[in-house]
Amino acid sequence: MTEFWESSFLEKQTMWGFEPSDSAILTKDFFLEKNVKDILIPGIGYGRNAKIFLDNGINVTGIEISKTAIALARQNGIDIKIYLGSVNDMPFDNKLYDAIFSYALIHLLNNHERKKFIKDCYSQLKPNGYMIFASVSKKAPMFGKGKQLSKNRFETMKGVKIFFYDADSVKQEFGKYGLVEFSEIDETNKSEKTKPPVSFINIKCKKGSCFNEVC
């Protein structure tokens, strides 16, 4: 995955631009409401979703597998601690965070990696801390395209393997990790507004919570 990401990174950053995602904007508002001060962003990329938190007084620590992405983040004024490495190698520190935000990352992981990632994120939350994941849903136009690898998981193009979430898979994977709620959101590409939005699911968990009061 590292080699694929590095080779295609410039194309990706052009595609998404530097405006924060709609999910990041909503999450920023929620974190401010909950008085969140210190967050971890696994898969921070080149920082387009970090800046909106920093600009609102929230401390950010990142994890990123791409040296190119980290260098680009630095060029754009993201002067924070960013661990170089894969989220598969979490944790990178012993710190507990008020919250964790992960955008467009978990659906790139296989079944084992997703389970570990969710558990590792949950383990790094303070009591009553929140973690929010934004992931591609089965309603996205690329669902079912390309080679099917397993249930709801497809190689949509060479080197790009995506797991598409729905209500059942969200409950199954996040249910025992403080799942609070989940909702659909259409993510717009702010740098290429002529492109159709992509359907995402925003998944919100709270440490110590139980979905529908069932643990």
The pLDDT of residue 211 is 60
The pLDDT of residue 7 is 45
DSSP-derived secondary structure for the chain: -HHHHHHHHHHHHHHH-SSPPHHHHHHHHHHHHTT--EEEEET-TTSTTTHHHHTTT-EEEEEES-HHHHHHHHHTT--S-EEES-GGG--SSS--EEEEEEES-GGGS-HHHHHHHHHHHHHTEEEEEEEEEEEEBTTSTTTT-SEEEETTEEEEETTEEEEPB-HHHHHHHHTTTTEEEEEEEEE--TT-TTSPPEEEEEEEEETT--GGG--
Domain segments of the chain as ranges: 2-213
The pLDDT of residue 76 is 87
Give the residues of the chain that fall short of pLDDT 70: 1-16, 189-194, 210-215
What CATH number is given for 2-213 in this structure?
3.40.50.150
pTM of the predicted structure, to 2 decimals? 0.89
